[in-house]
Amino acid sequence: MKMEDIAKMANVSKAAVSLALNGKPGIGQDTRERILRIAKDAGYAAKVKPPAPGKQAKTLLFLAFTNSGIVLEDYYQQPFFRELIQHTEERARSKGYSMLFSSVDMGSFEQEIELIAEENATSAVILLGTNLSREQISLIAGKMPNLVVLDTMYETLPLPFVEINNTMGAYQAASHLHGLGHRDIGYVASSVRIHNFEARKRGFSQALQELGTDLPEPSLFTVAPTVLTVQDSFKTQLSAYKQAKGSYPTALFCENDYIAISVIKTLAELGLGVPEDISVIGFDNIRESIVVTPELTTIHVEKELLARTAVDLLTDSVQENQFSGIKTLVDTSFKERLSCAPIAVRVEGEETSESRV
If one looks up domain 3-164+306-332 in CATH, what number appears?
3.40.50.2300
Q: Identify the pLDDT of residue 107.
A: 87
pLDDT band, residue 238 (cuts 50/70/90): very high
Residue-wise pLDDT for 250-304, tens only, equals: 999 999 999 999 999 999 999 999 999 999 999 999 999 999 999 999 999 999 9
pLDDT band, residue 347 (cuts 50/70/90): very low
Cβ-proximal residues to 233 (8 Å cutoff; 6+ apart), any chain: 222, 223
Q: Identify the pLDDT of residue 117.
A: 85
Q: Is the pLDDT of residue 53 over 70?
A: no
Output the CA–CA distances (angstroms, integers) from residue 198 to 149, 279, 326, in the order listed: 18, 22, 22
Q: Identify the pLDDT of residue 52.
A: 55
Q: Identify the pLDDT of residue 352.
A: 45
Residue-wise pLDDT for 126-159, tens only, equals: 999 999 999 999 999 999 999 999 999 999 999 9
Q: Identify the pLDDT of residue 237.
A: 97
Percent of the chain with pLDDT over 70: 90
Q: Phi/psi class of residue 43: alpha, beta or left (left: φ > 0; alpha: ψ in -120 to 50)?
A: left
β-pairing verdict for 185-190 and 220-223: parallel
> Among 3.40.50.12500, 3.50.50.60, 3.40.50.2300, 3.40.50.300, what is the CATH number of 166-300+335-352?
3.40.50.2300
Q: Identify the pLDDT of residue 253.
A: 98
| Beta-bridge partner residues of 88 | none
Q: Identify the pLDDT of residue 50.
A: 58
Output the CA–CA distances (angstroms, integers) from residue 311 to 94, 298, 306, in the order listed: 10, 26, 9
Q: Is the pLDDT of residue 248 over 80?
A: yes
Sequence ranges of the chain with CATH classification 3.40.50.2300: 3-164+306-332, 166-300+335-352
Q: Do the beta carbons of residue 88 and residue 99 sit within 8 Å?
A: yes
Q: Identify the pLDDT of residue 51.
A: 54
What SS3 state is found at 3? helix
- Residue with the bigger pLDDT between 320 and 272: it is 272
Q: What is the mean pLDDT of residues 12-26?
A: 71
Q: Identify the pLDDT of residue 349.
A: 39
Q: Is the pLDDT of residue 89 over 50?
A: yes
- Residue with the bigger pLDDT between 73 and 346: it is 73
Q: CA-CA distance, 165 to 117, in Å (whole number)? A: 30
Q: Identify the pLDDT of residue 216.
A: 86
Percent of the chain with pLDDT over 90: 67
